[in-house]
Amino acid sequence: MQIGMMGLGRMGANMVRRLMKSGHDCVAYDINPDSVAALVKEGAVGTTSMEEFVNKLAAPRHVWLMLPAAITGKIVDQLANLMKAGDTVIDGGNSNYRDAIDIAAKLSAKGLNFVDVGTSGGVWGLERGYCLMIGGPDEAVRQLDPIFAALAPGGTAGSKETGTAPRGYLHCGPSGAGHFVKMVHNGIEYGMMAAYSEGFNILKAANAGKQERAADAETTPLSEPQYYQFDIDIAEVAEVWRHGSVINSWLLDLTAGALKADPQLSQFGGRVSDSGEGRWTLRAAIDMGVPAPVLSSALFDRFSSQGHSEFADKMLSAMRYAFGGHVEKPKA
């Protein structure tokens, strides 16, 4: 099957490679000509403009976008002016599901299909495959099944389960449903990452009873230091948890690998970005009255890591000084 891929970043380029390995014909376009050239060497058809990109596709055209959410809507509008009734636009980026619903309605009026695909797998997708959460019209999704099957992990050989979910892709519902499911997926990801990080931080501090602590009014004493005398190798703990533990996961595998390579994580500064999905998940939870305290805590912790709590922290110090004369201690 022929498909066009626009956006050849870390995921888009590897998706093209995985599709070509399965025998699909890929037409590639990116604003960076070097990214296109690299895939042309591997067998893709390269293009240098959006017009050429669309013209190289046979009707009915299928165009997959792997772009930042901030520009996806604009690019879809440009594509819609070049495409014809019966063609399909697929958005595989981390876009807001609300945008998917609105875009689908706008394209439908022109006779175009819009399919939103929440795509999980990151830079490992070429090797492992991608988990795909799909929203869109039934017939458009059906036409794309060979593409989804090639990108997905593929399932377990000999499995008696029916449907596509065991193979790693699922038609979740109408336009917007794919991005909605991926949005919640990423909200859960925030919470899981926070839980692992906080747990390992507690393990790292388990030798607190051996540490010198200031004896002053600004330092909480460690009343029972004899209970915190452990020098725990957290890299080895991460490794042992990978084998038979209830909390084992691919995320833990990646964590163990990071700790093995750099136990102090010295190459990282601790600023954790959020790309929107956590915020959108909480907005949906609030709209529907669904409690999500873990996910909200994880999101707000990311805000703090970005420096957004600095003024509030200064305000706390100012109030303590104002009412009690407490002089702020320097940061460690």
Q: Which residues are catalytic?
A: 182, 189
- 116 and 134 Cβ atoms separated by less than 8 Å: yes
* Count of Cβ atoms closer than 10 Å to residue 102 Cβ: 15
Sign of the four-CA dihedral 170, 176, 179, 183: negative
Cβ-proximal residues to 194 (8 Å cutoff; 6+ apart), any chain: 294, 297, 298, 301
* Count of Cβ atoms closer than 10 Å to residue 30 Cβ: 24
Residue 299 has φ and ψ, to the nearest 5°, of -65, -45
Cα–Cα nearest to 67, from 39, 104, 30, 27? 30
* Distance in angstroms (rounded) separating the CA atoms of residues 30 and 12: 10
Query: In this structure, which amino acid lies at residue 309?
Result: S
* Count of Cβ atoms closer than 10 Å to residue 41 Cβ: 8
Residue 127 has φ and ψ, to the nearest 5°, of -85, -45
Three-state DSSP at 192 gives helix
Cα–Cα nearest to 199, from 234, 155, 225, 226? 234
Three-state DSSP at 262 gives coil
Beta strand ranges found along the chain (DSSP E): 2-6, 25-29, 45-46, 62-65, 88-91, 113-120, 131-135, 169-173
Task: Write out the two tokens for 228.
Answer: 């915190």
- 271-65-15-248 Cα dihedral, nearest 10 degrees: 40
